[in-house]
Structure 1
Amino acid sequence: MDLGLRGKRALVTGSTAGIGLAAARMLAAEGAEVVINGRTEERVRAAVASITEQVPGAQVRGIAADMGTAEGAAQIVREEPEIDVLVNNVGIFAPAAFEAIPDADWMRFFEVNVMSGVRLSRAYLPGMRARDWGRIVFISSESAVQIPSEMIHYGMTKTAQVAVARGIAETTSGTGITANSVLPGPTDSEGVGTFVADLAKERGISFEEMEREFFASARPSSLLQRFATPDEVAAMIVYTCSQQASATNGAALRVDGGVIRAIL
Protein backbone atom coordinates (compact mmCIF):
# COMPACT_ATOMS: atom_id res chain seq x y z
CA MET A 1 0.00 0.00 0.00
CA ASP A 2 1.27 3.45 -0.94
CA LEU A 3 0.83 5.59 2.16
CA GLY A 4 1.07 8.85 0.24
CA LEU A 5 4.18 10.07 2.02
CA ARG A 6 6.55 10.38 -0.92
CA GLY A 7 8.25 13.77 -0.83
CA LYS A 8 6.80 14.73 2.55
CA ARG A 9 9.26 16.23 5.05
CA ALA A 10 9.24 14.26 8.30
CA LEU A 11 10.95 14.93 11.61
CA VAL A 12 11.18 12.21 14.26
CA THR A 13 12.62 13.36 17.57
CA GLY A 14 14.63 10.97 19.71
CA SER A 15 15.16 8.76 16.68
CA THR A 16 18.65 7.32 17.09
CA ALA A 17 17.33 4.03 18.53
CA GLY A 18 14.21 2.07 19.40
CA ILE A 19 10.75 3.15 18.32
CA GLY A 20 11.98 6.47 16.92
CA LEU A 21 14.61 4.86 14.70
CA ALA A 22 12.13 2.23 13.48
CA ALA A 23 9.57 4.92 12.62
CA ALA A 24 12.18 7.03 10.83
CA ARG A 25 13.33 4.03 8.80
CA MET A 26 9.75 3.14 7.79
CA LEU A 27 8.98 6.74 6.84
CA ALA A 28 12.11 6.79 4.67
CA ALA A 29 11.01 3.53 3.04
CA GLU A 30 7.73 5.27 2.13
CA GLY A 31 9.69 7.97 0.29
CA ALA A 32 9.52 10.70 2.92
CA GLU A 33 12.46 13.03 3.47
CA VAL A 34 13.38 12.16 7.04
CA VAL A 35 15.18 14.21 9.68
CA ILE A 36 16.76 12.18 12.48
CA ASN A 37 17.29 13.74 15.91
CA GLY A 38 19.39 12.77 18.91
CA ARG A 39 21.51 14.46 21.54
CA THR A 40 24.94 13.63 20.12
CA GLU A 41 26.47 13.90 16.67
CA GLU A 42 27.88 10.38 16.97
CA ARG A 43 24.50 8.73 17.54
CA VAL A 44 22.80 10.86 14.90
CA ARG A 45 25.42 9.93 12.31
CA ALA A 46 25.09 6.25 13.20
CA ALA A 47 21.30 6.37 12.83
CA VAL A 48 21.51 8.14 9.47
CA ALA A 49 24.04 5.56 8.26
CA SER A 50 21.83 2.71 9.48
CA ILE A 51 18.78 3.94 7.55
CA THR A 52 20.82 4.76 4.45
CA GLU A 53 22.17 1.21 4.46
CA GLN A 54 18.80 -0.45 4.99
CA VAL A 55 16.68 1.73 2.71
CA PRO A 56 18.11 2.16 -0.79
CA GLY A 57 17.69 5.73 -1.97
CA ALA A 58 16.64 7.00 1.45
CA GLN A 59 16.59 10.78 1.85
CA VAL A 60 17.69 11.16 5.44
CA ARG A 61 19.67 13.72 7.38
CA GLY A 62 20.25 14.41 11.05
CA ILE A 63 20.33 17.15 13.67
CA ALA A 64 22.00 16.77 17.05
CA ALA A 65 19.99 18.80 19.57
CA ASP A 66 18.81 18.40 23.15
CA MET A 67 15.02 18.34 22.98
CA GLY A 68 14.78 18.87 26.73
CA THR A 69 15.55 22.55 26.21
CA ALA A 70 13.86 25.42 24.42
CA GLU A 71 17.13 26.12 22.61
CA GLY A 72 17.29 22.57 21.30
CA ALA A 73 13.82 22.90 19.79
CA ALA A 74 14.68 26.32 18.37
CA GLN A 75 17.82 24.89 16.75
CA ILE A 76 15.81 22.23 14.96
CA VAL A 77 13.30 24.78 13.70
CA ARG A 78 16.11 27.01 12.44
CA GLU A 79 17.69 24.13 10.51
CA GLU A 80 14.38 22.64 9.34
CA PRO A 81 11.83 25.48 9.09
CA GLU A 82 9.20 23.49 7.19
CA ILE A 83 8.00 20.05 8.28
CA ASP A 84 4.94 18.13 7.03
CA VAL A 85 5.09 15.17 9.42
CA LEU A 86 6.11 15.67 13.05
CA VAL A 87 6.60 12.63 15.27
CA ASN A 88 7.15 13.78 18.86
CA ASN A 89 8.90 10.65 20.05
CA VAL A 90 11.67 11.82 22.37
CA GLY A 91 11.15 10.76 25.96
CA ILE A 92 12.82 9.69 29.18
CA PHE A 93 11.78 7.36 31.99
CA ALA A 94 13.19 6.17 35.29
CA PRO A 95 11.63 4.17 38.11
CA ALA A 96 11.52 6.05 41.40
CA ALA A 97 9.42 6.04 44.57
CA PHE A 98 7.02 8.99 44.58
CA GLU A 99 8.42 10.33 47.85
CA ALA A 100 11.92 10.32 46.37
CA ILE A 101 11.18 12.32 43.21
CA PRO A 102 12.47 15.90 43.64
CA ASP A 103 11.00 18.96 41.94
CA ALA A 104 13.90 19.05 39.50
CA ASP A 105 13.02 15.59 38.15
CA TRP A 106 9.35 16.49 37.74
CA MET A 107 10.37 19.54 35.72
CA ARG A 108 12.99 17.66 33.68
CA PHE A 109 10.50 14.94 32.71
CA PHE A 110 7.93 17.55 31.73
CA GLU A 111 10.44 19.53 29.66
CA VAL A 112 11.66 16.48 27.71
CA ASN A 113 8.48 14.45 27.36
CA VAL A 114 5.89 17.21 26.97
CA MET A 115 7.38 20.61 26.18
CA SER A 116 9.59 19.25 23.38
CA GLY A 117 6.44 18.30 21.48
CA VAL A 118 4.59 21.45 22.45
CA ARG A 119 7.40 23.66 21.14
CA LEU A 120 7.81 21.85 17.83
CA SER A 121 4.07 21.51 17.20
CA ARG A 122 3.62 25.23 17.88
CA ALA A 123 6.43 26.06 15.44
CA TYR A 124 5.35 23.80 12.59
CA LEU A 125 1.56 24.07 12.77
CA PRO A 126 1.35 27.45 10.95
CA GLY A 127 3.19 26.01 7.93
CA MET A 128 0.91 22.98 7.92
CA ARG A 129 -2.08 25.32 7.96
CA ALA A 130 -0.68 27.29 5.02
CA ARG A 131 -0.27 24.05 3.03
CA ASP A 132 -3.53 22.59 4.41
CA TRP A 133 -1.80 19.30 5.16
CA GLY A 134 0.15 17.95 8.09
CA ARG A 135 0.52 15.15 10.59
CA ILE A 136 1.43 15.59 14.25
CA VAL A 137 1.89 12.45 16.34
CA PHE A 138 2.79 12.32 20.03
CA ILE A 139 4.30 9.02 21.18
CA SER A 140 2.64 8.56 24.54
CA SER A 141 2.28 5.25 26.42
CA GLU A 142 -0.21 2.92 28.04
CA SER A 143 1.13 4.56 31.20
CA ALA A 144 -0.99 7.57 30.24
CA VAL A 145 -4.05 5.50 31.13
CA GLN A 146 -2.62 3.22 33.82
CA ILE A 147 -0.27 5.44 35.81
CA PRO A 148 2.60 3.22 36.99
CA SER A 149 3.12 3.48 40.74
CA GLU A 150 6.86 3.16 40.21
CA MET A 151 7.00 6.05 37.70
CA ILE A 152 4.25 8.52 38.55
CA HIS A 153 6.16 11.46 37.09
CA TYR A 154 6.58 9.58 33.81
CA GLY A 155 2.90 8.59 33.67
CA MET A 156 1.88 12.19 34.26
CA THR A 157 3.81 13.33 31.18
CA LYS A 158 2.30 10.59 29.04
CA THR A 159 -1.22 11.67 30.04
CA ALA A 160 -0.30 15.27 29.26
CA GLN A 161 0.82 14.28 25.76
CA VAL A 162 -2.57 12.73 25.02
CA ALA A 163 -4.29 15.93 26.21
CA VAL A 164 -2.05 18.16 24.11
CA ALA A 165 -2.55 16.03 20.98
CA ARG A 166 -6.32 16.11 21.39
CA GLY A 167 -6.26 19.85 22.04
CA ILE A 168 -4.25 20.51 18.88
CA ALA A 169 -6.63 18.30 16.91
CA GLU A 170 -9.55 20.43 18.08
CA THR A 171 -7.89 23.42 16.37
CA THR A 172 -7.52 21.58 13.03
CA SER A 173 -11.22 20.99 12.37
CA GLY A 174 -12.06 21.07 8.67
CA THR A 175 -8.42 21.04 7.53
CA GLY A 176 -6.04 18.47 6.06
CA ILE A 177 -4.08 18.39 9.34
CA THR A 178 -4.38 15.71 11.99
CA ALA A 179 -2.97 15.41 15.50
CA ASN A 180 -3.02 12.08 17.32
CA SER A 181 -1.23 10.20 20.05
CA VAL A 182 0.06 6.63 19.86
CA LEU A 183 0.17 4.62 23.09
CA PRO A 184 2.70 1.78 22.99
CA GLY A 185 2.69 -0.87 25.68
CA PRO A 186 5.89 -2.41 27.07
CA THR A 187 8.31 -2.37 24.14
CA ASP A 188 11.77 -3.80 23.67
CA SER A 189 13.31 -0.41 22.98
CA GLU A 190 16.90 0.47 23.84
CA GLY A 191 16.10 1.88 27.29
CA VAL A 192 13.64 -0.83 28.33
CA GLY A 193 15.83 -3.60 26.95
CA THR A 194 18.81 -2.37 28.94
CA PHE A 195 16.71 -1.93 32.08
CA VAL A 196 15.29 -5.46 31.90
CA ALA A 197 18.68 -6.96 31.03
CA ASP A 198 20.22 -5.27 34.08
CA LEU A 199 17.44 -6.58 36.31
CA ALA A 200 17.93 -10.07 34.92
CA LYS A 201 21.65 -9.87 35.59
CA GLU A 202 21.04 -8.74 39.18
CA ARG A 203 18.67 -11.68 39.68
CA GLY A 204 20.97 -14.16 37.97
CA ILE A 205 18.33 -15.15 35.40
CA SER A 206 18.01 -14.86 31.63
CA PHE A 207 16.33 -11.99 29.79
CA GLU A 208 13.54 -14.36 28.72
CA GLU A 209 12.91 -15.43 32.32
CA MET A 210 12.87 -11.80 33.44
CA GLU A 211 10.44 -10.97 30.62
CA ARG A 212 8.06 -13.75 31.68
CA GLU A 213 8.26 -12.61 35.30
CA PHE A 214 7.62 -9.00 34.33
CA PHE A 215 4.41 -9.85 32.49
CA ALA A 216 3.27 -12.25 35.19
CA SER A 217 3.67 -9.67 37.98
CA ALA A 218 3.85 -6.14 36.57
CA ARG A 219 1.65 -6.38 33.43
CA PRO A 220 -0.52 -9.50 33.89
CA SER A 221 -3.32 -8.02 31.75
CA SER A 222 -1.13 -8.11 28.62
CA LEU A 223 -2.62 -10.21 25.86
CA LEU A 224 0.67 -10.24 24.00
CA GLN A 225 2.61 -11.54 27.02
CA ARG A 226 5.90 -10.27 25.65
CA PHE A 227 7.57 -6.99 24.82
CA ALA A 228 6.44 -5.51 21.52
CA THR A 229 9.14 -4.82 18.97
CA PRO A 230 9.92 -1.26 17.89
CA ASP A 231 8.81 -2.19 14.37
CA GLU A 232 5.39 -3.29 15.62
CA VAL A 233 4.85 0.11 17.23
CA ALA A 234 6.38 2.03 14.34
CA ALA A 235 3.92 0.47 11.90
CA MET A 236 1.06 2.21 13.71
CA ILE A 237 2.97 5.48 13.87
CA VAL A 238 3.70 5.51 10.14
CA TYR A 239 0.12 4.66 9.23
CA THR A 240 -1.07 7.51 11.44
CA CYS A 241 1.25 9.81 9.48
CA SER A 242 -0.14 8.62 6.15
CA GLN A 243 -2.52 10.17 3.67
CA GLN A 244 -4.88 7.23 4.28
CA ALA A 245 -5.23 8.18 7.97
CA SER A 246 -6.97 11.45 7.10
CA ALA A 247 -10.12 10.52 9.04
CA THR A 248 -8.15 9.69 12.19
CA ASN A 249 -7.83 12.87 14.21
CA GLY A 250 -7.73 13.58 17.93
CA ALA A 251 -7.39 9.87 18.65
CA ALA A 252 -5.37 8.00 21.26
CA LEU A 253 -4.30 4.88 19.36
CA ARG A 254 -3.16 1.94 21.47
CA VAL A 255 -0.39 -0.45 20.45
CA ASP A 256 -0.23 -1.85 23.95
CA GLY A 257 -0.50 -5.58 23.42
CA GLY A 258 -3.87 -5.50 25.17
CA VAL A 259 -2.42 -4.32 28.50
CA ILE A 260 -5.24 -1.79 28.98
CA ARG A 261 -8.38 -3.72 29.93
CA ALA A 262 -10.94 -1.67 28.02
CA ILE A 263 -13.07 -2.22 24.94
CA LEU A 264 -12.81 1.44 23.92
Structure 2
Amino acid sequence: MDLGIAGRTALVTGADSGIGLASARALLAEGVRVALTDLDAAALAEAARDLPGEHVTVAADLTAPADVARLHAEVVDRLGAPEILVHAAGTTGATGAFHDIDEEGWRTTLDTDFLAAVRVVRAVVGGMREAGWGRIVLLASEDGVQPYPDELPYCAAKAALLNLAKGLSKAYGPEGVLVNSVSPAFIATPMTDVMMRQRAQERGTGFEEAVAGFLAEERPGIALRRRGEAAEVAAVVAFLCSERASFVNGSDYRVDAGSVATV
Protein backbone atom coordinates (compact mmCIF):
# COMPACT_ATOMS: atom_id res chain seq x y z
CA MET A 1 0.00 0.00 0.00
CA ASP A 2 1.33 3.41 -0.98
CA LEU A 3 1.07 5.57 2.14
CA GLY A 4 1.46 8.78 0.15
CA ILE A 5 4.25 10.30 2.23
CA ALA A 6 7.31 9.85 0.01
CA GLY A 7 9.46 12.96 0.20
CA ARG A 8 8.11 14.06 3.59
CA THR A 9 10.49 14.75 6.47
CA ALA A 10 10.16 12.97 9.82
CA LEU A 11 11.76 13.26 13.23
CA VAL A 12 11.81 10.04 15.25
CA THR A 13 12.85 10.13 18.91
CA GLY A 14 14.05 7.14 20.90
CA ALA A 15 15.42 5.90 17.59
CA ASP A 16 18.50 3.93 18.60
CA SER A 17 16.49 0.76 19.26
CA GLY A 18 13.08 -0.80 19.72
CA ILE A 19 9.93 0.87 18.46
CA GLY A 20 11.67 4.12 17.55
CA LEU A 21 14.20 2.40 15.30
CA ALA A 22 11.52 0.16 13.76
CA SER A 23 9.35 3.21 13.07
CA ALA A 24 12.25 4.99 11.40
CA ARG A 25 12.84 1.95 9.22
CA ALA A 26 9.16 1.75 8.26
CA LEU A 27 9.06 5.43 7.29
CA LEU A 28 12.28 5.15 5.29
CA ALA A 29 10.71 2.26 3.37
CA GLU A 30 7.95 4.67 2.36
CA GLY A 31 10.43 7.19 0.97
CA VAL A 32 10.37 9.53 3.95
CA ARG A 33 13.50 11.49 4.90
CA VAL A 34 14.13 10.63 8.54
CA ALA A 35 16.07 12.30 11.34
CA LEU A 36 16.78 9.85 14.15
CA THR A 37 17.53 11.11 17.62
CA ASP A 38 18.45 9.55 20.94
CA LEU A 39 20.75 10.34 23.85
CA ASP A 40 23.82 8.24 22.97
CA ALA A 41 25.48 9.40 19.74
CA ALA A 42 27.52 6.22 19.27
CA ALA A 43 24.57 3.87 19.80
CA LEU A 44 22.44 5.99 17.51
CA ALA A 45 25.02 5.96 14.72
CA GLU A 46 25.43 2.19 15.05
CA ALA A 47 21.68 1.62 14.94
CA ALA A 48 21.32 3.74 11.80
CA ARG A 49 24.36 2.31 10.03
CA ASP A 50 22.48 -0.13 7.78
CA LEU A 51 19.25 1.80 7.34
CA PRO A 52 18.16 2.48 3.77
CA GLY A 53 17.07 5.80 2.35
CA GLU A 54 17.88 9.39 3.26
CA HIS A 55 18.46 9.79 6.97
CA VAL A 56 20.55 11.66 9.51
CA THR A 57 21.29 11.11 13.18
CA VAL A 58 21.32 13.87 15.80
CA ALA A 59 22.03 12.98 19.42
CA ALA A 60 20.10 15.07 21.93
CA ASP A 61 18.93 15.13 25.54
CA LEU A 62 15.16 15.66 25.43
CA THR A 63 15.08 16.62 29.10
CA ALA A 64 17.10 19.77 28.25
CA PRO A 65 15.10 22.51 26.49
CA ALA A 66 18.21 24.02 24.90
CA ASP A 67 19.19 20.64 23.47
CA VAL A 68 15.71 20.17 21.98
CA ALA A 69 16.02 23.58 20.32
CA ARG A 70 19.42 22.59 18.92
CA LEU A 71 18.03 19.28 17.69
CA HIS A 72 15.21 21.01 15.84
CA ALA A 73 17.51 23.58 14.27
CA GLU A 74 19.93 20.89 13.07
CA VAL A 75 17.15 18.76 11.57
CA VAL A 76 15.73 21.78 9.74
CA ASP A 77 19.19 22.63 8.42
CA ARG A 78 20.02 19.10 7.26
CA LEU A 79 16.66 17.74 6.07
CA GLY A 80 14.05 20.48 6.31
CA ALA A 81 11.30 21.22 8.80
CA PRO A 82 9.79 18.01 10.23
CA GLU A 83 6.32 17.30 8.85
CA ILE A 84 6.06 14.06 10.84
CA LEU A 85 6.96 13.46 14.48
CA VAL A 86 7.13 10.00 16.02
CA HIS A 87 7.91 10.39 19.70
CA ALA A 88 9.06 7.01 20.99
CA ALA A 89 11.63 8.12 23.55
CA GLY A 90 11.04 6.92 27.08
CA THR A 91 12.21 4.80 29.97
CA THR A 92 10.69 2.59 32.65
CA GLY A 93 11.78 5.13 35.23
CA ALA A 94 11.35 4.74 38.97
CA THR A 95 9.74 1.45 40.00
CA GLY A 96 8.71 -0.22 43.22
CA ALA A 97 6.10 0.33 45.88
CA PHE A 98 4.49 3.77 45.80
CA HIS A 99 5.62 4.54 49.36
CA ASP A 100 9.23 3.75 48.45
CA ILE A 101 9.51 6.01 45.38
CA ASP A 102 10.84 9.43 46.33
CA GLU A 103 10.07 12.77 44.71
CA GLU A 104 13.21 12.66 42.57
CA GLY A 105 12.09 9.32 41.13
CA TRP A 106 8.76 10.84 40.16
CA ARG A 107 10.37 13.99 38.81
CA THR A 108 12.91 12.27 36.57
CA THR A 109 10.37 9.77 35.22
CA LEU A 110 7.83 12.45 34.35
CA ASP A 111 10.54 14.63 32.84
CA THR A 112 11.72 11.83 30.55
CA ASP A 113 8.42 10.14 29.75
CA PHE A 114 6.08 13.13 29.53
CA LEU A 115 7.73 16.55 29.49
CA ALA A 116 10.18 15.44 26.79
CA ALA A 117 7.18 14.93 24.51
CA VAL A 118 5.88 18.40 25.36
CA ARG A 119 9.25 19.93 24.45
CA VAL A 120 9.59 18.13 21.13
CA VAL A 121 6.02 18.83 20.05
CA ARG A 122 6.47 22.51 20.90
CA ALA A 123 9.60 22.56 18.74
CA VAL A 124 8.02 21.06 15.62
CA VAL A 125 4.36 22.04 15.65
CA GLY A 126 4.94 25.59 14.43
CA GLY A 127 6.39 24.39 11.14
CA MET A 128 3.55 21.92 10.67
CA ARG A 129 0.95 24.64 11.28
CA GLU A 130 2.69 26.92 8.81
CA ALA A 131 2.70 24.17 6.18
CA GLY A 132 -0.91 23.21 6.89
CA TRP A 133 0.03 19.53 7.11
CA GLY A 134 1.49 17.42 9.86
CA ARG A 135 1.39 14.08 11.63
CA ILE A 136 2.28 13.57 15.29
CA VAL A 137 2.30 10.11 16.86
CA LEU A 138 3.06 9.79 20.57
CA LEU A 139 4.03 6.36 21.89
CA ALA A 140 2.03 5.73 25.04
CA SER A 141 1.41 2.33 26.65
CA GLU A 142 -1.25 0.00 27.93
CA ASP A 143 -0.10 1.28 31.32
CA GLY A 144 -1.76 4.61 30.57
CA VAL A 145 -5.21 3.09 31.01
CA GLN A 146 -4.33 -0.07 32.93
CA PRO A 147 -1.85 0.96 35.64
CA TYR A 148 0.39 -1.47 37.47
CA PRO A 149 1.21 -0.76 41.16
CA ASP A 150 4.97 -1.18 40.78
CA GLU A 151 5.28 1.23 37.81
CA LEU A 152 3.11 4.16 38.87
CA PRO A 153 5.38 7.03 37.71
CA TYR A 154 5.61 5.43 34.25
CA CYS A 155 1.86 4.75 34.21
CA ALA A 156 1.06 8.34 35.17
CA ALA A 157 3.38 9.69 32.47
CA LYS A 158 1.77 7.51 29.80
CA ALA A 159 -1.72 8.54 30.92
CA ALA A 160 -0.58 12.15 30.57
CA LEU A 161 0.67 11.41 27.04
CA LEU A 162 -2.75 10.05 26.08
CA ASN A 163 -4.39 13.22 27.37
CA LEU A 164 -1.80 15.39 25.62
CA ALA A 165 -2.38 13.66 22.28
CA LYS A 166 -6.13 14.10 22.56
CA GLY A 167 -5.81 17.75 23.49
CA LEU A 168 -3.34 18.47 20.70
CA SER A 169 -5.64 16.78 18.20
CA LYS A 170 -8.39 19.25 19.09
CA ALA A 171 -6.06 22.23 19.02
CA TYR A 172 -4.31 21.56 15.72
CA GLY A 173 -6.50 19.15 13.75
CA PRO A 174 -8.38 22.08 12.19
CA GLU A 175 -5.04 23.31 10.82
CA GLY A 176 -4.19 20.00 9.15
CA VAL A 177 -1.95 18.66 11.92
CA LEU A 178 -3.31 15.27 12.97
CA VAL A 179 -2.27 13.90 16.36
CA ASN A 180 -2.72 10.33 17.57
CA SER A 181 -1.17 7.93 20.04
CA VAL A 182 -0.18 4.27 19.96
CA SER A 183 -0.30 2.10 23.08
CA PRO A 184 1.80 -1.07 22.88
CA ALA A 185 2.03 -3.81 25.49
CA PHE A 186 5.04 -6.00 26.24
CA ILE A 187 7.00 -5.53 23.04
CA ALA A 188 10.40 -7.18 22.52
CA THR A 189 12.64 -4.15 23.07
CA PRO A 190 15.80 -3.49 25.08
CA MET A 191 13.59 -2.05 27.85
CA THR A 192 11.58 -5.25 28.30
CA ASP A 193 14.74 -7.32 27.82
CA VAL A 194 16.16 -5.64 30.93
CA MET A 195 12.93 -6.37 32.82
CA MET A 196 13.00 -10.04 31.84
CA ARG A 197 16.71 -10.50 32.63
CA GLN A 198 16.09 -9.05 36.07
CA ARG A 199 13.08 -11.33 36.55
CA ALA A 200 15.11 -14.36 35.45
CA GLN A 201 17.90 -13.48 37.88
CA GLU A 202 15.49 -12.95 40.77
CA ARG A 203 13.72 -16.25 40.14
CA GLY A 204 16.70 -18.33 39.08
CA THR A 205 15.24 -19.17 35.67
CA GLY A 206 16.22 -18.72 32.05
CA PHE A 207 15.18 -15.72 29.96
CA GLU A 208 12.40 -17.51 28.07
CA GLU A 209 11.01 -18.96 31.29
CA ALA A 210 10.93 -15.44 32.70
CA VAL A 211 8.97 -14.21 29.68
CA ALA A 212 6.49 -17.09 29.91
CA GLY A 213 6.02 -16.54 33.64
CA PHE A 214 5.50 -12.81 33.18
CA LEU A 215 2.86 -13.44 30.51
CA ALA A 216 1.01 -15.92 32.69
CA GLU A 217 1.20 -13.98 35.95
CA GLU A 218 1.35 -10.30 34.98
CA ARG A 219 -0.20 -10.00 31.50
CA PRO A 220 -2.90 -12.67 31.25
CA GLY A 221 -4.87 -10.54 28.78
CA ILE A 222 -2.26 -10.95 26.04
CA ALA A 223 -4.15 -13.57 24.09
CA LEU A 224 -1.29 -14.37 21.70
CA ARG A 225 0.91 -15.49 24.64
CA ARG A 226 4.07 -13.83 23.33
CA ARG A 227 5.88 -10.50 23.29
CA GLY A 228 5.04 -8.28 20.36
CA GLU A 229 7.60 -7.24 17.79
CA ALA A 230 8.70 -3.64 17.32
CA ALA A 231 7.90 -3.90 13.61
CA GLU A 232 4.29 -4.78 14.49
CA VAL A 233 3.98 -1.48 16.33
CA ALA A 234 5.86 0.43 13.63
CA ALA A 235 3.36 -0.71 10.99
CA VAL A 236 0.59 1.08 12.88
CA VAL A 237 2.78 4.12 13.47
CA ALA A 238 3.58 4.40 9.75
CA PHE A 239 -0.12 4.21 8.86
CA LEU A 240 -0.94 7.02 11.29
CA CYS A 241 1.80 9.15 9.70
CA SER A 242 0.33 8.66 6.25
CA GLU A 243 -2.20 10.15 3.88
CA ARG A 244 -4.19 6.95 4.38
CA ALA A 245 -4.95 8.14 7.92
CA SER A 246 -6.31 11.50 6.76
CA PHE A 247 -9.49 11.14 8.86
CA VAL A 248 -7.83 9.71 11.96
CA ASN A 249 -7.27 12.31 14.66
CA GLY A 250 -7.26 12.12 18.45
CA SER A 251 -7.29 8.31 18.50
CA ASP A 252 -5.29 5.83 20.52
CA TYR A 253 -4.37 2.62 18.73
CA ARG A 254 -3.69 -0.31 21.04
CA VAL A 255 -1.08 -2.77 19.80
CA ASP A 256 -1.35 -5.09 22.77
CA ALA A 257 -2.78 -8.46 21.67
CA GLY A 258 -5.74 -7.83 23.98
CA SER A 259 -3.82 -6.96 27.15
CA VAL A 260 -6.07 -4.06 28.13
CA ALA A 261 -9.15 -5.61 29.70
CA THR A 262 -11.65 -2.85 28.97
CA VAL A 263 -13.42 -1.96 25.72
Question: Structure 2, unaligned stretches of length 5 or more?
Answer: none
Q: Mapping of 1:106-185 within 5 angstroms?
A: 106-185=106-185
Task: Letter of the 2:63 partner, please give it.
Answer: G
Partner of 1:65: 60
| TM-score, with structure 2 as normaliser | 0.94
After superposition, where does 1:40-55 map in structure 2 within 5 Å?
40-51=40-51, 55=52
- Alpha carbons 1:36, 1:47 under 8 Å: kept: no
Identity %: 34
Q: Could you give the per-residue CA deviations for residues 3-37 of structure 1, whole angstroms, max 9, x where no partner exists? A: 11211110111110011110011111111000111
Letter in 2 for 1:118: V
RMSD of equivalent CA atoms: 1.3
Which residue does the alignment assign to 2:198? 198
| Corresponding position: 1:75 with 2:51 | no
- Any idea what SS the aligned residue of 2:149 has? coil
Measured after TM superposition, the shift of residue 122 of structure 1 is: 1.5
In 2, Cα distance between the equivalents of 1:35 and 1:173?
A: 24
Q: How many residues align?
A: 258
Tell me the alpha carbon deviations over residues 67-93 of structure 1, each in whole angstroms, 9 at most, x when there is no partner: 122122112112123110001110010
Note the residue ranges of structure 1 that are not aligned, 5 or more in a row: none
Provide the residue aligned with 1:93 in structure 2.
Answer: 92
Alpha-carbon distance between aligned partners in 2 of 1:133 and 1:261, rounded to the nearest angstrom: 35
Q: Is the 8 A contact 1:69 1:111 kept in 2?
A: no
Q: Deviations over 1:199-239 (max 9, x none)?
A: 21442322221111111111112112211011111111111
Per-residue deviation at 1:139? 0.2
CA distance in 2, matches of 1:24, 1:33: 9
Residue 257 in 1 paired to residue 257 in 2? yes
**What secondary structure, in the 3-state scheme, does the structure 1 residue paired with 2:19 have?**
helix
The runs of at least 4 aligned residues of structure 1 exceeding 4 Å deviation read: none
* 2:174 partner SS: coil
Q: How far apart, in 1, do the equivalents of 2:67 and 2:146 lie? A: 30
In structure 1, C-alpha distance between the alignment counterparts of 2:69 and 2:96, rounded to whole Å: 31
Please report how far the alpha carbon of residue 101 of structure 1 lies from its aligned counterpart in structure 2 after TM superposition. Answer: 1.2
Alpha-carbon distance, 1:129 to partner? 1.3
Structure 1 distance, partners of 2:138, 2:71, is 17
